[in-house]
Amino acid sequence: PILHNAMKTAPSFCLLLSLHHNISRRCSSIKPRRLFSAIKSSNYINMSYEQDGAEAKEIAKYLPYFPFKGIPKFYDIGGFLEKPEVFQQIVDIFAARYDSIGIDAVAGLDARGFILGPPIALALKKPFIMMRKKGKMPNSISSADYNVEYGKRAGLTVQRDKISKGDRVLIIDDLVATGGTLSSAVSLVHLCGGTVVECACVVEIKMFIDPPADSGL
């Protein structure tokens, strides 16, 4: 299967298209559940958020998709980035969730995680950590190479002094399909002695999480 076993140790929270569960479809011990967040901002006060609920469907209107790299629906976060009120809504939902759960740092994945992670980290008043492609940062350690839905990639890197032993780290990216990139990030946090609280994404591609029997995935 194309799904990555490393994700078994890191539960996920995806804003759209998925309920809360471990990335691997072989892990069913965590039951889907509603999530209620006290969101406090100029636009959202004491509202509840339900994954795949009415608010999620409204946000999804600003996530267009196109055929790209052999994938029939490649989601483009540029749709909500040009709508400040929708972008703020997404930041508020994530910030409220992780303010309640409690984290020590936000790690964003190269490159779209660098867009989503900093405003969430600022809202929580927590450090933001870059997890970059190889060859981009000094004083860094690397994860192993990994597969994604459209090929193979070199591992991610993080600077050695950014995650301390016992740190509770939130990993964030725009989308999860096979879990390959997130698995690479999880392994980096573990190499540094940290704990992954959750892997957070805006979109989860269900065709990779629970693919049809004849799909070959």
Q: For the segment 169-188, what is each residue's pLDDT rounded down to a tens digit?
A: 999 999 988 888 999 999 99
Has this prediction a pTM greater than 0.75? yes
Of 117, 156, 119, 124, which Cα lies nearest the Cα of 140?
Answer: 156
> Using one digit for the tens of pLDDT, what is the confidence trace for 46-59?
346 787 788 888 99
Binning pLDDT at 50, 70 and 90, where does residue 74 land?
A: confident
Share of the chain above pLDDT 70, in %: 74
Per-residue pLDDT, averaged over 176-204, amounts to: 93
Reply yes or no on whether 112 is catalytic.
yes
29, 66, 132, 153, 178 from 77: Cα distances, Å = 31, 12, 19, 21, 18
Q: Is the confidence at residue 151, as pLDDT, over 50?
A: yes
* Residue 132, token pair as written in the block: 């970059």
Q: Is the confidence at residue 32, as pLDDT, over 70?
A: no
* Residue 191, token pair as written in the block: 């190499």
C-beta separation of 128 from 153 below 8 A: no
Among residues 97, 112, 132, 198, the one annotated as catalytic is 112
Q: Are strands 71-75 and 65-68 parallel, antiparallel or unpaired?
A: antiparallel
C-beta separation of 121 from 176 below 8 A: no
Give the per-residue pLDDT at 177.
Answer: 81
Cβ-proximal residues to 39 (8 Å cutoff; 6+ apart), any chain: 45, 46, 47, 49, 92, 93, 96
Alpha carbons 190 and 77: distance in angstroms, whole number: 29
Sign of CA dihedral 127, 112, 94, 62: positive
Mean pLDDT rounded to a whole number for the chain: 79
Three-state DSSP class for residue 77? coil
Reply yes or no on whether 55 is catalytic.
no
Give the per-residue pLDDT at 144.
Answer: 87
Of 15-29, 40-54, 79-93, give the range with the top mean pLDDT. 79-93
Per-residue pLDDT, averaged over 58-85, amounts to: 89
Among residues 55, 97, 132, 149, the one annotated as catalytic is 149
